[in-house]
């Protein structure tokens, strides 16, 4: 069953914006444009005029004798080749240079200059691709109750992982679990406020007869869909939605609900699910008297959000409208994170003294991003490592609060590692590998990846590139369709939120997962 993530529809918007953003971003770097967000739209016209001028010049010059292309033209030329065929991203420098010369016969440019420029723009490909798997740290998970046939093994190579303790037959239910941290759907926040969706699970409420059954909040206008939801959320709800913060009384009230409601609106405007999620996670941690939830979250595979961002920045995929082209400048991203941190601190005035400094905040965000499934955090499931041909099938339930079930996708032998897929296995190998590298920091070397790459090499050498290209194009087109149709949970965000682009990476770069 395909699981559609909220991040889908962002992609739909993104696809229209990317080409333009790319040009702007490159121009910005070269022409030293202001990085001020609000100046962006006024720069738009200016930029498009410049683009036209450059285009016209290009044409007239190309007809004449050899020219030395401007660095921007050169980088644009390379990017055009990458966009045209994702296989071009894997070309070595000399082949890339040759292809560039073929397309622009009158360009006078050395291989060295192409390399230098790509390096300058952080676009150098192949071996130098940034991975951060070695930056991901994890610890032994405290107080975890594991399913009968499963154990956790820690290896230096793969970190924590789940392994079969006994043989498991295909189709067997290996375990089921509910969320360690349940994150209500951000998209439904406004409906929740109006009492039209459950305050906890976000389920739409068809009528308000439920007030008669005692499912309403006696302080605010929010409602729950069931007694179970009300009971689960009651304490958290009160703390987040109408707690009175008293700065004089330290430690007893550590949540400022006014600031939370502001943060909630801010996250909705910015489409920033990760900030919303870690705020709810931290509130849960504070309210957990046993302290176990905090320790468990802290022991998960951890990485700082700014490290993840580096992988995106060094990816040619950032220029590809299908693969999550979130091109933006570093300062913009940092400004936004800092703004998010300030808002977080207003919700939890004691957080800084409780160890959540800005650095830790980025870690929380990174940790959430690499561990969440369907926006929520599951404890046991978060231990599953990736394989493009996984031996388990993770199925989330129709009713989100029911959690998930994990089945054996084939016979599994005792001692085998249990795996899931973080990406859509139907996507072309290059796309999968880029998505895994950017989102989770590693280069996949699974059997399926190896055999897919082999097949491609063979096809290339026997019948030329035509068939491969056509295949890849078709797959990309299918993906595009899939992404375009994914706008189920969330309306297309309003176009006005310019800075939304900068937070995209705080969600997954990839939107489709087959569960």
Q: Are 385 and 138 a contacting pair, CB within 8 Å?
A: no
Enter the tokens of residue 25. Answer: 């971003």
Smallest gap from Cβ 419 to Zn ion, in A, equals 10
Task: Work out how close the CB of 421 gets to Zn ion at its nearest, in angstroms, rounded to a whole number.
Answer: 8
If one asks whether residue 189 binds Zn ion (CB under 5 A), the answer comes out as no
| Matching residue, tokens 């068939």 | 467
Q: Among residue numbers 339 through 398, which ones bind Zn ion (CB under 5 A)?
A: 388
C-beta of residue 125 within 8 angstroms of C-beta of residue 90: yes
What burial class does residue 464 get, using C-beta atoms within 10 Å of its C-beta: 0-12 exposed, 13-18 middle, 19+ buried?
A: exposed
Looking at 150, 240, 274, 446, which residue binds Zn ion (CB under 5 A)? 446
Using CB under 5 A as the binding rule, whether residue 225 contacts Zn ion is answered as: yes
Cα distances (angstroms) measured from residue 307 to each of 18, 311, 328:
23, 7, 15
Among 201, 277, 377, 418, binds Zn ion (CB under 5 A): 201
What is the gyration radius of the CA atoms in the chain, in angstroms? 25
Q: Binding mask 123-152 vs Zn ion (x if CB under 5 A, - otherwise)?
A: ------------------------------
When asked if residue 215 is in the footprint of Zn ion (CB under 5 A), the reply is no
Tokens of 452: 């897919």
Question: Which residues, other chains included, contact 445 with Cβ-Cβ below 8 Å and sequence gap of 6+?
Answer: none
Q: Find the shortest distance in angstroms from Cβ 274 to Zn ion.
A: 23
Q: Which of 91, 217, 327, 418: binder of Zn ion (CB under 5 A)?
A: 217
Q: For helices 257-270 and 227-242, what crossing angle results, to 10°?
A: 100
* Closest distance of CB 216 from Zn ion, Å: 8
Interaction between residue 220 and Zn ion (CB under 5 A): yes
Rank residues 116 and 447 by Cβ distance to Zn ion and give the closer one.
447
CA–CA separation, 76 and 450 (whole Å): 31
Instruction: Tell me the window of 31-39, 223-231, 316-324, 484-492 that interacts with Zn ion (CB under 5 A).
Output: 223-231
In the complex, minimum distance from the CB of residue 321 to Zn ion, in angstroms, rounded to a whole number: 24
From CA 401, how far away is CA 181, in angstroms rounded? 11
Q: Which of these ranges, 195-203, 274-282, 335-343, 374-382, lies near Zn ion under the rule CB under 5 A?
A: 195-203
Under a CB-based contact definition with an 8 Å cutoff, are residues 67 and 411 in contact? no
* Cβ proximity to Zn ion, 1 vs 219, nearer residue: 219
**What part of residues 258-287 is at the interface with Zn ion (CB under 5 A)?**
none
Residue 198 near Zn ion by CB under 5 A: yes
Nearest to 326 by CA among 311, 307, 341: 311
- Total residues at interface with Zn ion (CB under 5 A): 15
Task: Say whether residue 444 binds Zn ion (CB under 5 A).
Answer: yes
Q: Which stretch binds Zn ion (CB under 5 A): 229-237, 290-298, 363-371, 500-508?
A: 229-237
Minimum distance between the CB of residue 509 and Zn ion, rounded to whole angstroms? 16
Cα–Cα distance measured from residue 515 to residue 512, given in angstroms and rounded to the nearest whole number: 10
| Shortest distance (Å) from residue 176 CB to Zn ion | 19
Which C-beta is closer to Zn ion: that of 233 or that of 506? 233
Per-residue HEC secondary structure of 300-355 comes to CCECCHHHHHHHHHCCHHHHCCCCCCCCCCHHHHHHHHHHHHHHHHHHCCCCHHHC
Beta carbon of residue 171, minimum distance to Zn ion (angstroms, whole number): 24
In the complex, the residues that contact Zn ion under the rule CB under 5 A are: 198, 200-201, 203, 217, 219-220, 222, 225, 229, 241, 388, 444, 446, 449
């Amino acid at each position: 069953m395909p699981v559609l993530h909220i991040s889908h529809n962002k992609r739909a918007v993104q696809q229209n914006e990317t080409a333009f953003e790319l040009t702007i971003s490159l121009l910005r770097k070269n022409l030293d444009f202001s990085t001020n967000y609000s100046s962006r739209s006024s720069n738009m016209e200016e930029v498009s005029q410049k683009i036209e001028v450059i285009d016209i010049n290009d044409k007239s010059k190309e007809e004449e004798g050899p020219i030395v292309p401007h660095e921007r033209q050169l980088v644009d030329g390379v990017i055009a080749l990458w966009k045209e065929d994702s296989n071009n991203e894997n070309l070595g420098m000399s082949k890339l240079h040759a292809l560039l010369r073929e397309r622009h016969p009158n360009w006078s440019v050395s291989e060295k200059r192409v390399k230098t420029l790509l390096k300058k723009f952080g676009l150098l490909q192949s071996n130098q691709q940034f991975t951060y798997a070695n930056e991901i740290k994890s610890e032994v998970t405290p107080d975890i109750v594991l399913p009968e046939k499963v154990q956790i093994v820690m290896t230096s190579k793969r970190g924590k992982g789940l392994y079969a303790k006994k043989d498991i037959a295909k189709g067997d239910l290996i375990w089921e679990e509910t969320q360690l941290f349940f994150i209500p759907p951000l998209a439904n926040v406004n409906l929740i406020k109006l009492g039209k969706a459950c305050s906890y699970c976000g389920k739409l409420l068809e009528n308000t007869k439920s007030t008669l059954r005692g499912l309403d909040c006696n302080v605010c206008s929010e409602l729950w869909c069931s007694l179970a939801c009300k009971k689960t959320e009651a304490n958290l709800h009160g703390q987040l939605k109408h707690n009175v913060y008293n700065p004089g009384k330290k430690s007893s009230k550590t949540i400022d609900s006014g600031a939370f409601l502001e943060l909630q609106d801010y996250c909705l405007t910015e489409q920033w699910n990760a900030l919303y999620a870690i705020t709810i996670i931290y509130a849960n941690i504070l309210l957990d008297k046993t302290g176990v939830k905090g320790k468990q979250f802290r022991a998960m595979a951890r990485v700082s959000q700014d490290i993840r961002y580096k992988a995106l920045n060094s990816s040619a995929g950032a220029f590809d409208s299908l693969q999550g082209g979130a091109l933006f400048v570093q300062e913009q991203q940092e400004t936004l994170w800092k703004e998010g941190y300030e808002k977080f601190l207003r919700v939890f005035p004691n957080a800084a003294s409780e160890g959540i400094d800005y650095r830790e905040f980025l870690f929380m965000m990174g940790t959430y991003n690499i561990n969440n499934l369907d926006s929520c955090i599951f404890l046991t499931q978060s231990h599953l490592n990736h394989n493009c041909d996984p031996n388990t099938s993770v199925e989330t339930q129709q009713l989100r609060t029911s959690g998930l079930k994990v089945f054996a996708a084939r016979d599994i032998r005792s001692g085998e590692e249990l795996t899931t897929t973080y990406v859509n296995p139907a996507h072309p190998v290059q796309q999968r590998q880029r998505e895994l590298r950017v989102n989770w920091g590693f280069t996949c070397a699974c059997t399926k990846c190896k055999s897919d790459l082999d097949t491609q090499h063979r096809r290339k050498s026997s019948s030329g590139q035509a068939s491969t290209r056509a295949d890849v194009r078709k797959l990309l087109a299918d993906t595009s369709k899939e992404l375009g149709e994914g706008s189920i949970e969330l309306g297309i965000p309003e176009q006005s939120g310019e800075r939304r682009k900068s937070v995209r990476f705080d969600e997954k770069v990839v939107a489709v997962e087959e569960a």
